[in-house]
Amino acid sequence: MVILVDAYNLLKYLYGALVNERHKEQLIALLNRYVRRKSHTVYLVFDGGDSTRPMQYKKGLITIVYAGYGKSADDVLIDMMKQNWAFDGLLVSNDRALRSHATPFSIDSIGVKLFYDIISERTHPVVSKPTDPGIKKYDTTASDATLDDLLMADTNSMIGKDEIQDDEGYMSSGMPKDQKRYLVKLKRL
């Protein structure tokens, strides 16, 4: 998946109005850890820059884009969406006007808080959960009747395919295609 990030929008959410180079480097490091785990393509797009035209370079696995002197990241992000309208992408921004530009290109968008929460969760090491004390162990050498009774008791609680919910508790049937696509992208993040 290609992820287009409104960089200052995300940085201002994280650090407030006073964003410095250290904050940028911390964000880039976080995104690089995330991309190493998930293998997505991430473009981090900043307002301004030293050049009159948009400039980009790689920093680790992340592509950094500066819009150009006196130019907005929004304009560059809109151009990127226009050029790549058929791609499997996601726009990350809280800017409603920018997010509305993504819709005609069938590009989903999410807010910076949700994105940050997801990538933070994905980049922290997984801590193994202690064994549930409620788990009962059964002797598999016991008579077949005992094991059969145990398996039959469990089949009475099975649910049908129409009752299956995703991890967030949404019913999958009856949901519009664009909402299903959006949920699939969120799960892939």
How many alpha carbons fall within 13 Å on the CB side of residue 59? 17
Q: What is the pLDDT of residue 171?
A: 47
How confident is the model over 32-60, as pLDDT tens digits?
Answer: 999 999 889 999 999 988 888 889 999 99
| Banded model confidence at residue 122, pLDDT cuts 50, 70, 90 | confident
Alpha helices in the chain (DSSP H): 7-15, 21-38, 73-83, 96-102, 112-123, 144-155, 177-188
Q: What is the pLDDT of residue 189?
A: 74
- The whole-model pTM stands at 0.70
CATH 3.40.50 domain position(s) in the chain: 2-126
How confident is the model over 61-89, as pLDDT tens digits?
Answer: 999 999 989 899 999 999 999 887 667 78
Question: Which residue has better confidence, 5 or 188?
Answer: 5
| Banded model confidence at residue 158, pLDDT cuts 50, 70, 90 | very low
- State whether CATH 2.40.30 applies to domain 2-126: no
Q: What is the pLDDT of residue 95?
A: 92
Contact 67, 76 (CB under 8 A): yes
Please, what sign has the CA dihedral across residues 119, 99, 3, 57?
negative
Q: Is the pLDDT assigned to residue 161 strictly greater than 50?
A: no
